[in-house]
Amino acid sequence: MKLSLNWVKHFTEVEIGGDELIQKIGSQLGAIEDVQDWGSYYDEKIVIAKITSAKDHEDADKLGVYNIDIGGGQSRQLVAGDKSLEVGDKVGYIPPGVAVPLSVYEGEPFVIGERDLRGITSQGMLGSAKELLFSDNHKNVLKLDTDKEVGSALVDAYELDDLIIDIENKMFTHRPDLFGILGLAREVAGIQGIEFSSPDWYSEDVDFAKVDNKLPLEVTNEIPELCPRFTAVALSNITIKPSPLIMQSYLNRVGLRPINNVVDITNYYMYLTSQPAHAFDYDKVVKLSGEKPNLVVRKPRKDEKIKLLDGREIAPHSEAAMVATDLNLLSVGGSIGGADSEVDDDTKTVILEVASWNLYSIRRTSFKHGIFTDAVARFNKGQSDRQNLPVLKLMMDQFVNNCDAKQASDIFDLKKTAEAKDIVIELSSDFVNSRLGSNYSAQDIAKTLNNVELNAVIEKSVIKVTVPFWRTDLELREDIVEEVGRLNGYDLLPQSVPLRPSQPNFRSDKLQLKSEIKRILASAGANEVVTYNFVSSAMFAKLGYQADQIERAYHLRNSLSPDLEYMRMSLLPSIVEKVNPNMRTGHKQFALFEVNKSHNKDYLDDVGLPKELDSLAMVVVSNDSHQDSSFFATKRQLEYLAVKLGKHFSYHKFEQNNDRLAQTSGLMFATSRRAVVKIDDQAVGYIGEFSSRVKKQFKLPEFSAGFEIDLNHLFPEAIAYKQISKFPVSNQDLTLSVPNNLGYAQLSEKLGRLFNEAQDIDVVYEPISIFRSKLKENRHISFHLIFQSPTRTLKTTEVNDLISRVVKTLEQKDIKQV
Amino acid sequence: MKYIFEPIQNLANEIRDAMNAIDDPSVLLKSPELKQLYQMIPKQSDNQKKEFGSQVNALKAEIVSLVENHQNQQEEAELSSIDITAPFDENCTAQDNQLLTADRGSLHPLSQELDRVLKIFEAMGFGAIESRQLDDDYHMFGSLNFPDDHPARDDFDTFITDEGLIAPAHTSTMQNRVLLANRDKLKNGGNVQVVVPGRCFRNEDVDARHEHTLHQVEGVMVGEGITVGHLIGTLKTFLEAFYGQKLEVRTQPAYFPFVEPGFEFSMSCPFCSKVGCKVCSNEGWIEILGCGMIHPNVLKEAKIDPDKYTGFAWGFGLDRLVMMQYNVDDIRWFHSGKIEFLEQFK
């Protein structure tokens, strides 16, 4: 919303300088996007001049040669591409050495020079409306409509020494009144601590004259729920012409294009009051009506269409609020006019509409049909219907003054509710102070509010605020607190940290777990990545997902591109995607991991929302050759994590099941090289070397494996401390020949059980090596054993006996000492 | 798949049979019969030409995929099965097999900074829970005083699933839950004090400055007598601890439906002491977060009496904090997964 400071000054004093005001507006009204120093576009030397003689150029068809009076007894000779100027016309003269205002505005100053045009010297330039920043008109030299004397600066004649302060629209989503200069002026007064009074015409007490010569017109409203108030009047005897230049200039400054006196009035006073209005060509409405000329506010009928002012033709949705005749649609109510009833150069009679529309209905229609006009921007904030009549009266008076119009109908005023009631909000100074941390008296508060016409009176220490009709946003006491804090300046409030009971407070267990896991894996040499939740159907295709698997992924109805149309069901594929780009930039061996969430339609929580499925996934890859396979390199990372978290994982043959990870990441592994990871009997995740398909599709090296584990099973276990024995340890190595069908874990479990059968001796063992014998029927597995007793020094014979006993038992299972 | 043209179907049958019988099925792709089928295409009648051609192509595609599957199966069959319960491979010793080179490891800068942020807030008495990545309209909008069809929703370009679920555009999607879960603390004279870090999503195209996936830190404090002065004081205290220096702060009024009043919050630039630098675009000030006093309707929705209790909430972007901290010039690095970026944050 562009605020013209000079326009604001029509309604309030501004006592502080531009920079200070801009700072104050920014901190007390809303964030500023841009400030334009409008006066800086006009050099002081651009003056008002008068044509003293006019003739055609003898050697050029389209050029006129003029002498002009530029004041101070001086005259100049000008050649202009416009032969229509007459002696006595006032024009804007740009002398040599001065830049054209339009070019300064556009940031590439074009300086006028004295030049020869077909043999005649032109001592400067006469500006067009476009060049002088009044409108888009570039056909003719602009004829000025000022009474100021010849030789005075143009900038002074049209209040051009202005600041245009552009405030972000989203600051005013809740403030319908601030989409008008009048509302902005009220706030500018308020933040300066100055009392503001609305002009007399901005009052609900409006009188209209009755007219005798009435044009035939009926107005009805079939949808008061979408159009709570519809006011209109017919105006005849109109002469279409350009608006006064001062009006054109203000419109142009705030970004509205001047068109003609009729359209400009509706725009100018909309910009002043924030109340949009629309003018229909009466004679066109008559032709579009049935027997009697009429306006009907109604919904569109089936298959009805309308040509819009922006050139499009639409079939409005069935719930749209339209202005129509009994036979044809005329405009989309509160949004955009129709081309068939548009005011044009031949218009003689208009119907002026000043209405109110339901903001939700306006927004729905705006989104359905892509209509984003200045009217929509105002109506969808909820304008008060109590300003319809004063604004209708104001505009009508301008039609009489600027277009020579005559009132040609009574005032139509169709409204839903009988009488509007003022909202009264009662609060105490305590209520305000306890929310702001301030120390304002009731009198301070009342004065602040009264400055912006929020009528506040104090009755027995209660502040009673009668909300004026234009503030449709004020309902609650908290809304009044905002006004008081903002108008006085929040940054002046005393700042402190709130007192609180000194109880400890921590992040959730899950956040702690995530941060701990990340730290552990990074300390083991892996790199943490974060990847998108969004994945593509191409990714699912690469993974070989079938239709029923894809069904389980949430699909976005408004994704940015097909690359981002699904919510992922597991993390591993997103990480696998990051491998090849890193290989290409020369990284030969690395591990990437992510701790994040995924979603799956089969997993809902108690209230039916998708569960937030937390997991940890890792990929380990290498381009180098390795002693062992990638499965074990990856497993070691997982085992390192297990040790740090005090967890015990076991690894089992992969079996297909309905588990979400088995159905997604689990399918990425080679069938001979994958395992289910379990804690006790609970499957918690999957680990494996990637299948040939995945390796090919994602361009992974041969040595590549990964895992994905459900995070909920990784909460760390408490440390179980064991008393440390004072007695010496005894070390032994043991190599066993083990049949191939016996897994390492089974062997290890047996060893543990057998050794711990011994009373009073603790045995710790760890693997040293695994070798396959030449016969290939057995493996040789070596362990390092540490024996210690908590109560005595162990004898060597005792240890050897224990080993023998264990070996003997193992022999029954075909396990032999080597 | 069945082919309607006899010669195509015949070849399909032959090839399917041959697939498992020969050692290298990729030769099937070069079979003269397939070539003949291609040569037959132009000889078909006009109304059959298109259909015949597309069926030949379909057969070719089938062969390609059969060959690929066959190769994959073969390759996997060549992989010896392993003892998945073992600590390392056969013919290896414990010494052969180390973890990765430990000094290569790194924590993502977003994780590192989040940790620092949470530590400061923990010290200030705030708990923390994580935000959701998929939520419903009620939590994203309804519980936060956004009526249906309200224009304030236009400021949030959210991703929506076919079911109408929302990938939240702000961590405030957790506010109602946080208030409900902690309101009991108020009875004993305590406060609700929680920060909510999490991922957010904005429906906008990605470039050096814009991302559709962002990280936010939300904060909520509710209690008796909590004021705007406390809001400003608390955020100033946090920012000074985070940047390790005294800062000036200032507010601008802003509109968010879930607060009243609402603010944009700025701090004096911690990188140049307000002199003006690249980070603050020579302004001396940096707009760092949005905040405000929690709207009474939001408190009511969480069964907290707004006459007795007041509170404030804020939200800031973690990505931007990290970018400013390390002078990262392109937001796309965060999700790039590139090691040259990651390994700088060890």
Listed range (A353-367, A772-786, B304-318) with the worst mean pLDDT: A772-786
Q: Does the pLDDT of residue B67 top 80, yes or no?
A: no
Chain A residues within an 8 Å CB radius of B130? 508, 510-511, 514
Cβ count within 10 A of residue A147:
8
Determine contact: B187 vs chain A, CB below 8 A: no
CA distance B170 to B281: 26
Give the residue-averaged pLDDT of A353-362.
95
**Residues B31-47 pLDDT 10s:** 888 888 888 888 888 88
- CA dist A268 and A266 (Å) reads 6
pLDDT score of B80 more than 80: no
* 8 Å CB contact of B161 and A639: no
In three-state secondary structure terms, A597 is strand
Do residues A275 and A357 make contact, with C-beta atoms less than 8 angstroms apart? no
Question: Which ipTM was obtained for this model?
Answer: 0.85
Is beta strand A294-298 parallel, antiparallel or unpaired with respect to A218-221?
parallel
pLDDT at A170: 82
pLDDT in tens, A140-181: 999 999 999 999 999 999 999 999 999 998 888 889 999 999
pLDDT in the model for residue A268: 98
pLDDT at B97: 66
- Which residues are CB-neighbours of A272 under 8 A, at least 6 positions away? A7, A180, A181, A182
| pLDDT surpassing 70 at residue B99 | no
Beta bridge partners of A652: A676
pLDDT digits (tens, 9 = 90+) for A374-397: 999 999 999 999 999 999 999 999
Phi, psi of A321 (to 5 degrees): -90, 120
Say whether residue B78 is in contact with chain A using an 8 A CB cutoff.
Answer: no
Q: Is B126 on the interface with A (CB under 8 A)?
A: yes
What's the rounded mean pLDDT across residues A195-221?
92
Model pLDDT for residues B256-301, shown as the tens digit of each residue: 999 999 999 999 999 998 999 999 999 999 999 999 999 999 999 9
The pLDDT of A5-25, averaged and rounded, is 94
Min mean pLDDT across A413-417, A644-648, B234-238 is at A413-417
Q: Let me know if A444 is exposed, middle or buried by CB neighbors in 10 A (0-12, 13-18, 19+).
A: middle
Interchain proximity B84–A174, CB inside 8 Å: no
Instruction: Quote the pLDDT of residue A50.
Output: 97
Name the DSSP letter for residue A285.
Answer: H
Range from A1-15, A631-645, B88-102, B259-273 carrying the lowest mean pLDDT:
B88-102
CB-based contact, B161 to chain A, within 8 Å: yes
DSSP summary character for residue A691: P
Least confident of A632-636, A656-660, B143-147: A656-660
**pLDDT number for residue A775:** 64
CA-based nearest distance A48→chain B, Å: 40
**What is the mean predicted confidence (pLDDT) over A214-218?**
94
Confidence category of residue A295, pLDDT binned at 50, 70, 90: very high
A730 phi and psi angles, rounded to 5 deg = -125, 130
d(CA A626, CA A638) in angstroms, rounded, equals: 18
pLDDT tier at B101 (50, 70, 90 boundaries)?
A: confident
Q: Å from B281 to nearest chain A CA? A: 15
Q: What is the pLDDT of residues B206-254, one digit of tens each?
A: 998 899 999 999 999 999 999 999 999 999 999 999 999 999 999 999 9
Q: How far is CA A531 from the centre of its chain?
A: 22
Give me the pLDDT at residue B13, please: 85
- List the single best residue of A511, A520, A534, A768 to mutate versus B (max B Cβ within 10 A): A511
Residue predicted with more confidence, A775 or A576: A576
Distance from CA of A321 to the nearest CA of B (A): 16
User: Cβ(B294)–Cβ(B312) under 8 Å?
Assistant: yes
Task: Read off the tokens for A744.
Answer: 């390492």
Query: What are the tokens at B312?
Result: 């404030």
Looking at chain B, the whole-number percentage of residues with pLDDT higher than 90 is 61
**Vertex A629 angle, CA A625 and A630, to 5°:** 90
Instruction: Write the residue in B128, B191, B223 that is nearest to A511 by C-beta.
Output: B128
Average pLDDT score over residue span A548-552: 90
Q: What is the CA radius of gyration of chain B?
A: 31
Within 8 A by CB and 6+ apart from B240, the residues are B246, B247
Determine the average pLDDT of the residues in A39-62: 94
Q: Once rounded to an integer, what is the mean pLDDT over residues A715-743?
A: 92
CA dist., res. A198 & res. A183, Å (int)? 9
- Residue in A628, A652, A690, A779 to test binding to B, most B beta-carbons within 10 Å: A628
Distances (CA, A) of B34 to A749, B5, B8, B50, B67: 58, 14, 9, 17, 15
Of A707 and B70, the structure prediction assigns the larger pLDDT to: A707
Distances (CA, A) of B342 to A578, B100, B101, B336: 12, 16, 15, 9
The distance of B48 to chain A (nearest Cα, Å) reads: 31
Does the distance separating the beta carbons of A359 and B88 come in below 8 Å?
A: no
Q: Does B200 touch chain A (CB under 8 A)?
A: no
Q: What is the pLDDT of residue B81?
A: 78
**Is pLDDT above 90 for A594?**
yes
- Asked whether the predicted pLDDT for residue B66 surpasses 90, the reply is no
Contacts of A520 in chain B (CB under 8 A): none
Residue A158 is predicted with a pLDDT of: 96
The pLDDT, as a whole number, for residue A548 is 84
A-contacting residues of B 45-74, CB under 8 Å?
A: 68, 71-72
Express each pLDDT in A480-533 by its tens digit: 999 999 999 998 888 888 887 778 899 999 999 999 999 999 999 999 999 999
Handedness of CA A343, A349, A353, A354 (dihedral sign): positive
Taking the C-alpha atoms of B297, B303, B305 and B311 in order, what is their torsion angle to the nearest 10 degrees?
-70
Q: What is the model's pLDDT at position B18?
A: 77
Q: Are B141 and B256 in contact (CB under 8 A)?
A: no
Predicted pLDDT of residue A442: 97
Average pLDDT over residues A427-456: 96
CA distance B143 to A364: 21
Sign of CA dihedral B240, B243, B249, B253: negative
- H or E segment to which residue B159 belongs: strand B159-160
User: B34 phi and psi, to 5 degrees?
Assistant: -65, -45
The one-character DSSP state at A555 is B
Look at residue A652 in the predicted model and tell me its pLDDT.
Answer: 95
Is B265 part of the contact surface with chain A (CB cutoff 8 Å)? no
Contacts of B244 (CB under 8 A, 6+ apart): none
Contacts of A27 in chain B (CB under 8 A): 250-253
The mean pLDDT of chain B is 89
A161 Rama sector, left if φ>0, alpha if ψ -120 to 50, beta otherwise = beta
For residue A478, the model assigns a pLDDT of 94
Higher pLDDT, A283 or A658: A283
Tell me the H-state helices in A426-578: 429-436, 442-451, 477-488, 509-523, 537-543, 547-550, 572-576
Q: Is the pLDDT of residue A552 over 90?
A: yes
Question: Quick check: B82 and A631 in contact, CB under 8 A?
Answer: yes
- pLDDT score of A124 more than 90: yes
pLDDT band at B1 (very low <50, low <70, confident <90, very high): low
In tens, the pLDDT along A775-812 reads 677 899 999 999 999 999 999 999 999 999 999 999 99
User: Of all residues in chain A, what percent carry a pLDDT higher than 90?
Assistant: 85
The answer on pLDDT for A419 being more than 80 is no
Helix, strand, coil shares of chain A, percent, nearest 5, are 30, 25, 45
Report whether pLDDT(A751) > 80: yes
Please compute the mean of the pLDDT values over residues A221-239 and round it to a whole number: 96
Partners of A491 on chain B (C-beta within 8 Å) are 232, 250-251
pLDDT of B220: 97
Could you say which DSSP state residue B170 is in?
Answer: S
Question: Taking residues A764-772, what's their average pLDDT?
Answer: 91
Q: Is the peptide bond before B261 cis (omega within 30 degrees of 0)?
A: yes
**Crossing angle for the helix pair B6-19 and B32-40, to the nearest 10 degrees:** 160
CB A637 within 8 A of CB A705: no
Residue A434's pLDDT is 93
Q: What number is the average pLDDT over the span A630-635?
A: 94
pLDDT category at A774 given cuts 50, 70, 90 is low
Query: How confident is the model over B105-136, as pLDDT tens digits?
Result: 999 999 999 999 999 999 999 999 999 999 99
Q: What is the pLDDT of residue B155?
A: 72
Task: Give the DSSP letter string of B192-227.
Answer: EEEEEEEEEE------SS--SEEEEEEEEEEETT--
